[in-house]
Amino acid sequence: MMPHVDVTPVIFRTDGEEVTAIFPCEPGDRYGYTMLCYAKKGQHSTCSVEWARSRKNRPATPDEYAELRRELESAPYNYRLKIYRRMQGWMENARRANARR
């Protein structure tokens, strides 16, 4: 039997200069209003749903996010990522539930 491995939903966005990995199910505050994100420059941070959907950024292409994806899937992070292009309704529910824990 294989061990259970958690899969982490991620959305890669770019403003044309920097790629950001958004973790839409991981709360950035105790209420789940914001979510965790990660960028090479700023490292770990939080962002709002409004920022993630903003016209100031767009979905990153696989070529644009390849380096950041490799970083997140290797040590010390070792994420097993499932990539989405946009926010899904269930992600907000999951984030709020995780914030309540």
The predicted-structure confidence for 9-59, as pLDDT tens digits, reads as follows 999 999 999 999 999 999 999 999 999 999 988 788 999 999 998 989 999
- Confidence check: pLDDT of 83 > 60: yes
- What's the pLDDT score for residue 98? 95
Rounded Cα distance between 16 and 64, Å, is 9
Q: Taken in order 47, 52, 58, 64, is the CA torsion positive or negative?
A: positive
- What's the pLDDT score for residue 2? 46
- Percent helix, strand and coil across the chain, each to the nearest 5: 30, 35, 40
- What's the pLDDT score for residue 41? 83
8 Å CB contact between 79 and 7: no
- What's the pLDDT score for residue 4? 52
pTM for this model (two decimals): 0.90
Question: In Å, how far are 3, 66, 67 from 48, measured between CA atoms?
Answer: 34, 23, 24
